[in-house]
Structure formats: structure tokens, C-alpha cells
Chains A and B, each alone.
Chain A
Amino acid sequence: MSSLVTEKRTPGAARFDVARVRADFPALAQEVRGKPLVYLDNAATSQKPRAVLEAIERYYRCDNANVHRGVHALSERATRAYEEARAKVRVFLNAASEREIVFVRGATEGVNLVASSWGRANVRAGDEILISAMEHHSNIVPWQMLCEQVGARLRVAPIDDSGALVFEEFERLLNERTRLVAMVHCSNALGTINPVRRVIERAHAAGAVVLLDGAQAAPHLAIDVRALDCDFYVFSSHKVYGPTGIGVLYGKERLLEAMPPYQGGGDMIKAVTFEKTIYNDLPYKFEAGTPHIAGAIGLGAAIDYLVALGLDAVAAHEHELLAYATEALATIPGVRVIGTAREKAAILSFTLDGVHPHDIGTVLDHEGVAIRAGHHCAMPVMQRFGVPATARASFGLYNTREDVDALVRGLERVRELFG
């Protein structure tokens, strides 16, 4: 009998116990304005599990030392922990080598590093860089700056009314002048998951290099940079349940090897004289100065936590929540969901007739429900949909159907007040 019950369960549902998961996140167990916190701002940043907090504290309490130089025990322990974190990231992305994993401050710095180092060495006047119309400002502005510096041209592949990439237009814009395609894997403002495998195939066929902005994809999707064959991939720790101030740039070794350093300083050199400096090997060539050691260790702990839960189980749980929330919002009069692409991560951007998103945000805050209201650092997306801003509920692995119900009740309050 018991075996029959087990068979009926889906593997994800059997493994994924959301109540137990919630207990791992101390910040979730609090009240806001007298109501239990309902945290639906995960696309901005996620809460941190105890394992991450403890890893960071353990480093500062027991192992605190600088890395890659000391001969003493603490420095050896710190170095080992820091490099173990890099090894975990390599597995998380399925990169070929740890030399391809560069620690940076976040996805934004990763993009800037590539624009600055690879860009200035490889992009010339008349060349083109192709992005999409759903990019976050951090995947627009560094390329604009580069284009301005070298006289290249920034081109933008359009999106349709559902918020999906218009693939034919993207293909049409690719040409022999396209040096690089920079595209978001999953849109922060719309939730759209881009067909990145096809994007990379087509871009490579046109001779272009591809950078994927994985800031939103990393918490929701399993990433395999080798299967994707992408050239650069960036993500931020704080959106995958790790600490702020640390992130990752993945780059194919042959590309990173040929790139000039991004910043000069300690740790990125082998030998320095006033006449000449010999740069360090990968990935240290790109890690000038004392790195965010505790941050990297915290990110390693976050990856351990995610992997133990099972990335597929997390994705299935979030997908179920997205479907439930999308259906629930459709029952509220005046709600318009912005971003209805077929392939979506658990991000729900919406407007409510006659009520500005900021007012929605304030009223929901009174109900203990934390969402984001604004342009989500994607002003061109707002312009595309003809709205100044949206309200955005974004879900993480610890959210529940009850959280969605609280959101819906909060929106009813908004309608009462402004109706």
C-alpha cells in the first residue's frame, strides 16, 4: 500500500517540503506592521538560509585571513575555503575548468569586465553589438559606453506583446559586423526565459561571441554553460540565496586567456618591476586586490544548499506557484499582467487600472507583503509596454500558495482604497 502511494507522487513533490525549507530562513519568521512577512521581492534579492549565514560567520570567527599569500594556518584555511567555493561554482555552471570562474562583485561587474577588457580589445569602429529590448540597464549601459568609446553601434532585437524575443528579427539583425550578442537569460521585469541555445547557435554561425546575463536565471534554472556553448555567463550571488557583493563571471578559457586584465593590483600579478609586470594566470589575472572572501564562501554554501534541495525540485515548485499566482491575479478586475511569454520564470509583473504601482506597493507593505514597484532598472521595457512602472511579485523556493493568497487579499485592499 505504501509503495503505491509513493509511486503516485511526483519525484519533485515528494522531495520538496516547503515548510521545512522556510524554517531554514530566519528572516522569513518575522512580522511587518503587525502581519507575518510575505516576501515576494526575490528578483531584487533573496533571503539567506542559515547555512549561508553560518558559513560567513564561521569564516570571520575562525578562519579570517588573507588568501593566496600567507604561510600560516589561517591563511591556508581561508585560501582553501575560497578556492572550494570556486570549485562549487564550476560544478554549478558545469564549466570545464576553475580557471574559467572569475569572482566579481556581481552580474553587473561581470558585464562591465567583459565590455571593458574583451570589448576594447575586440570591438572596432563600425562593429555592432546586439542586445534585446528586454535587457536590464546593466546589460545596456556598459555596451553603450563601449560603443561610444570605439565608435561601434548598439543594435536592439525587439520583443513582442507577450514579452518574448522576436527571433526572426534577432536573426535579421545578426550580420558579419556583429561582434557580440549580449542577452538576458531570464528577464527581471517580464520573467521571459529566452531561447538561449538557439540564440547562441545563430550568433556563433554569424561569428559573434555571446554573453548571457544570468542574474535571474541562476535562482530558477539549472545552467550548463558547456551544453549551451556560451562564451560568457554572469550571475550574482545575492539572488541565489547567497550574500551581496559577490558574483561570478564565467568565460571560456581561450577567451579569458587572450583578454587584457580589467584592473591592476595585488593578486593579479606574478612579478612586478617598474619596467614591466607579468600578469598572473587565470582566473587570478582578473581578481585584483583582496577579494570578497567571505562572500565567495557564502555563495559556496548557498550553492550547496540549492543543490541539496535539487534544482529541478525547486524549479518545479516555483513553476507551480507561478501558474497558481497567474490564475489568481486573473480573477482580480483591472489587473493586467505584463509579460506573458510561454517560457517564464516565477516573476509576475502587473499593473492595476487607476492605481500607480507605488501606491500598490505601499498598501501591500501594510499587509506585510513585500513586492517591488517601479521600472525594475529596465526603462526600455516599460516604454515598450507603455507604462511608467509596474508592480512585481517574484517568487523564491520558500514561497507558498498562502503567500499568493496574501498578495491577492492585499490587492483587494488596494481596490477598496482606490476604488
Chain B
Amino acid sequence: MQDLRSLYEEVILDHNRRPRNFRRVPEGSNRHASGHNPLCGDRLRLDLVVEDGVIKDVGFDGEGCAISTASASLMTESIKGKTVEQAERLFRSVHDLLTRQGDPGDLGKLRVLAGVRDYPARVKCATLAWHTLDAALKNATEPVSTE
């Protein structure tokens, strides 16, 4: 059970149980994207309110496993109030953290996502939200797929 906790840390379990910003942004959202993980059927919809290059508000909904839900929840917390450039930098850092043995560095709370690296089959669960964010910031029209 102990090593399982390196994947399912308390922060992950908490964000899965009570996902933050789990709602459609009602008004003023101007950046949107959908993500899909065909392997496990996870679906995610992300809406952002971007004003003057700053992410003022964010919301997501959909269905997914604990890892993908917690990753999306943690992401929305960490990008709110950030500039688009900062959010894009964060996307690249998290992507490196999850796919390479990169140094978590100053990622703060997001470091908990590093546990997924020992579970290759689950990495895509954690990256789904971040790829969807990347697509929303680029205003991509096609849904994102992890395949």
C-alpha cells in the first residue's frame, strides 16, 4: 500500500474527491478546448476567461480517473491569475516533469503529479488536462486526443 501512495498521494485523492473549478465558466469565457483519452474513455472540457493576456477564470468538466481529474483540478488552481505566457511555460514544465525524469523544481503543489512517472500506462491520464490547456490557449478547434 505504501508505494501505491506515491501515485495516489493525499493531494491527488483530495482533488479527485473535491475537484476545484469543476464547472462550466458561465460568462465571458473566450478560450475553449476538449480533450479525449481514447484508451480509458476520459473526456475533458476546458473553458478559460482570458483578458489582457491574463487568465481571469477557468472551469472544467468531464469524466475521468482520479489521476486525470486531480491533474485537471490542480492545473486550474495553478493557472488562475497567470498570464498566457506563464501558463504556457507551466504546461511545458509539467509536460517535462511527466514524460522525462525532469527536476520538478519550483512546481510547488504540482510536484505530486511526478508519482505517475512510475506508471507508464497512466502518464496520459495526467497529461490530458495540460494538452487541453495548450490547445485552448492556442485556440485550437480540433479536440485534443492523447493517442
Contact = CB atoms under 8 A, between A and B. Distances in A.
B122 A358 contact: yes
A375 interface: yes
A418 B7 CA distance: 13
A358 B8 contact: no
Contacts of B121: 362
B140 interface: no
B112 interface: no
B4 A363 contact: yes
B3 A366 contact: yes
A355 B63 CA distance: 11
Interface centre among B4, B63, B64, B125 (most CB of A within 10 A): B4
Interface in B18-63: 39-43, 63
Given A356-B40, A388-B41, A418 B13 contact: yes
Contacts of B65: 356-359
Contacts of A355: 66
B8 A375 contact: no
Contacts of B40: 356-358, 373-375, 388-389
Nearest to A375: B41
Interface residues of A, number: 18
Q: Which of B39, B63, B66 has the most CB of A within 10 A?
A: B66
A389 B16 CA distance: 17
A363 B13 CA distance: 13
A78 B27 CA distance: 72
A388 B42 contact: yes
Contacts of B39: 374
Contacts of A418: 13, 16, 66
A34 B46 CA distance: 40
A392 to B, nearest CB: 13
A373 to B, nearest CB: 7
B41 A413 contact: no
Nearest to B119: A362
B41 A417 contact: no
Given A366-B4, A417-B8, A418-B13, A359 B66 contact: yes
A359 B4 contact: no
A362 B66 CA distance: 11
A358 B65 CA distance: 6
A133 to B, nearest CB: 17
Say whether chain A's binding surface is mostly helix, strand, loop, or mixed.
helix
Interface in A386-419: 388-389, 413, 417-418
Nearest to A363: B4
A130 B37 CA distance: 30
Nearest to B64: A356
B144 interface: no
A181 B119 CA distance: 42
A355 B3 CA distance: 19
Interface in A57-116: none
Nearest to B7: A362
A389 B41 contact: yes
Contacts of A38: none
Interface string B86-127: 000000000000000000000000000000000101100100
A369 to B, nearest CB: 13
Nearest to B5: A417
A323 to B, nearest CB: 29
Nearest to A388: B41
A210 interface: no
Closest 5 CB pairs of A and B: A388-B41, A356-B65, A358-B65, A389-B41, A359-B66
Interface of B: 1, 3-4, 7-8, 13, 16, 39-43, 63-67, 119, 121-122, 125
Interface of A: 355-359, 362-363, 366, 373-375, 379, 382, 388-389, 413, 417-418
Given A359-B66, A363-B4, 4 more contacts: A358-B40, A366-B3, A417-B8, A418-B13
29 contacts: A355-B66, A356-B40, A356-B63, A356-B64, A356-B66, A357-B40, A358-B65, A358-B67, A358-B125, A359-B8, A359-B65, A359-B67, A362-B4, A362-B121, A366-B1, A366-B3, A366-B4, A374-B39, A374-B40, A379-B41, A388-B40, A388-B41, A388-B42, A388-B63, A389-B40, A417-B4, A417-B8, A417-B13, A418-B66
